């Protein structure tokens, strides 16, 4: 008899000898631990495959027919998008699948992600063009991959101040796109430019980068789109692979970047990733986070109330635990500048206060700035970024 097992980190599947039941084996692809357990009726669920990412389907296709659905809570709509409402009812049809993925503790630990196990792609040379009456230079790169691994088909936007720059003369900021639900990625859009340009105007190089698992129209995505995007985001370690690739691009393809002055920065969900990256990457000089989500309790409660969501997002409880900045505060590697408006109704300031208290208890270097009133977005642009630039300029 043989037992089929699946790696919880990279979804690689294996067939192992039955005498390994009850033991833990190591994934040959990514190094994660896999508990060898027998699942009832496993052969009825899906054929064994070595594919790590499902092929993305066209929007008109779905995993199964979609009958009418019951109402969802507002939090569930945020997690799924309105176009996926009917997908939940199909969970009744997929009951066997739910049994296969029933344990969110599968593989079992909350260790930091192992980024060294993921291959660094080849980066093309940037071709810079001057924009906006000689105010800055920009190169937009689209990585292409023949093998489809995490972080191999991402976007990289490089901004440099106009002029010639000596080697290792410019500080650099790495910025991911905001606006995700922390279960999928996003492309870099023109609407993100207001978050990029102030740093360039202050004399920084900027590398903006996309996150695996983009959905072009998340509000109208179906269950197939959501599941595929989640798979890609999980394989990219919640965007850490993308952030690491952006750092490697800056170090290997932008001679003007000073490797001693590289910062990670982001707003909202991108701020969450900035915190997580600072906990996994010791080469960073500093971290800047504006109104970041740092406590995933509400998401976990919503998923607990609606277990059908776990069909769309397999092993999501474990994924959220491993991807939550609170899980890894002891590993925070660099000074942090955290900015939050008191009136923010999207991410409550209490999350940031709690995160700062956890870092303080660990003796970490934290600068926490707040303003009265305000909302989620404009205080970041008007007060947050100028304060952060002043903070970053003190690093020599």
Q: Is residue 107 part of a domain?
A: no
What per-residue confidence (pLDDT) applies to 272? 98
pLDDT digits (tens, 9 = 90+) for 72-117: 344 454 565 544 444 443 433 333 333 333 333 333 457 899 999 8
Q: Is residue 295 part of a domain?
A: yes
pLDDT greater than 90 at residue 384: yes
pTM: 0.78
- Ramachandran category for residue 151: left, alpha or beta (phi over 0 → left; psi -120 to 50 → alpha): left
Last residue of a domain, one of 42, 74, 100: 100
The first and second tokens of residue 219, run together, are 């509000």
Q: Are residues 20 and 135 in the same domain?
A: no
What per-residue confidence (pLDDT) applies to 214? 96
Mean per-residue pLDDT for 377-394?
Answer: 97
Instruction: Check: CB of residue 159 under 8 Å from CB of residue 138.
Output: yes
pLDDT tier at 42, thresholds 50, 70, 90: very low
Q: Is residue 109 part of a domain?
A: no
Nearest to 231, CA basis, from 7, 3, 5, 4? 7
Q: Are residues 133 and 263 in the same domain?
A: yes
Query: Which range is least confidently modeled, 23-27, 55-59, 164-168, 286-290?
Result: 55-59
Question: What total number of domains does the chain contain?
Answer: 2
Q: Are residues 160 and 214 in the same domain?
A: yes
Q: Are residues 241 and 387 in the same domain?
A: yes
Q: Are residues 132 and 95 in the same domain?
A: no
Query: Which range is least confidently modeled, 123-132, 153-162, 340-349?
Result: 123-132
Q: State the average pLDDT for the chain.
A: 82
pLDDT digits (tens, 9 = 90+) for 261-286: 999 999 999 999 999 999 999 999 99
Q: Are residues 347 and 299 in the same domain?
A: yes
Q: Is residue 356 part of a domain?
A: yes
Last residue of a domain, one of 73, 100, 127: 100
Indicate the helix (H) or strand (E) that contains 351: helix 349-361
Q: Is residue 110 part of a domain?
A: no
Q: Are residues 13 and 70 in the same domain?
A: yes
The first and second tokens of residue 113, run together, are 């992600």
pLDDT greater than 60 at residue 243: yes
Cα→Cα distances 34→4, 15, 27, 82, 168, Å? 11, 12, 7, 35, 43
- CATH number of the domain bearing residue 158: 3.40.50.1820
pLDDT greater than 60 at residue 245: yes
Q: Are residues 349 and 375 in the same domain?
A: yes
Pairing verdict, β 33-35 and 257-267? unpaired
pLDDT greater than 60 at residue 392: yes
Q: Is residue 69 part of a domain?
A: yes
What per-residue confidence (pLDDT) applies to 196? 97
Query: Which range is least confidently modeled, 98-102, 140-144, 175-179?
Result: 98-102
Q: Is residue 106 part of a domain?
A: no
Cα→Cα distances 65→93, 178, 215, 225, Å? 10, 32, 21, 14
Q: Are residues 137 and 62 in the same domain?
A: no
Q: Which domain holds residue 254?
A: 117-392
CA distance 193 to 183: 23
Bigger pLDDT: 308 vs 350: 350
Q: Is residue 179 part of a domain?
A: yes
Q: Are residues 132 and 52 in the same domain?
A: no
């Amino acid at each position: 008899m043989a037992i089929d097992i699946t790696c919880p980190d990279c979804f690689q599947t294996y067939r192992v000898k039955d005498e390994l039941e009850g033991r833990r084996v190591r994934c040959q692809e990514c190094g994660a631990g896999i508990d060898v357990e027998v699942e009832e009726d496993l052969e009825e669920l899906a054929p064994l495959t070595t594919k790590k990412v499902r092929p993305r389907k066209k929007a008109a296709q779905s995993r199964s027919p979609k009958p009418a659905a019951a109402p969802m809570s507002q939090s569930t709509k945020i997690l799924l998008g309105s176009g996926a409402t009917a997908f939940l009812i199909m969970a009744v049809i997929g009951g066997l699948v739910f049994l296969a993925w029933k344990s969110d503790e599968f593989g079992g630990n909350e260790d930091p992600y192992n980024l060294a196990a993921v291959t660094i792609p080849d980066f093309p040379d940037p071709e810079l063009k001057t924009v906006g009456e000689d105010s800055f230079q920009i190169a937009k790169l689209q990585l292409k991959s023949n093998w489809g691994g995490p972080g191999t088909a991402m976007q990289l936007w490089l901004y440099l101040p106009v002029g010639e720059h000596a080697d290792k003369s410019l500080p650099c900021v790495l910025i991911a796109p905001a606006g995700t639900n922390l279960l999928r990625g996003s492309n870099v859009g023109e609407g993100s430019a207001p978050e990029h340009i102030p740093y360039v105007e202050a004399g920084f190089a900027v590398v903006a980068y996309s996150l695996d698992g983009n959905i072009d129209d998340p509000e109208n995505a179906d269950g197939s789109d959501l599941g595929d995007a989640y798979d890609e985001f999980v394989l990219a370690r919640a965007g850490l692979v993308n952030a690491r690739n952006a750092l490697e691009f800056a170090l290997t393809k932008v001679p003007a970047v000073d490797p001693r002055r590289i910062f990670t920065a982001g707003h909202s969900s991108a701020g969450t990733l900035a915190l997580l990256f600072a906990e996994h990457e010791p080469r960073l000089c500093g971290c800047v986070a504006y109104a970041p989500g740092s406590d995933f309790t509400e998401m976990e409660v919503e998923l607990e109330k609606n277990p059908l969501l776990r069909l769309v997002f397999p092993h999501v409880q474990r994924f959220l635990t491993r991807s939550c900045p609170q899980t890894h505060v002891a590993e925070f590697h660099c000074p942090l500048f955290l900015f939050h408006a008191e009136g923010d109704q999207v991410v409550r300031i209490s999350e940031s206060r709690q995160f700062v208290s956890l870092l303080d208890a660990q003796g970490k270097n934290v600068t926490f700035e707040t303003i009265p009133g305000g909302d989620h977005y404009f205080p970041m642009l008007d007060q947050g970024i100028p304060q952060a630039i002043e903070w970053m300029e003190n690093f020599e």
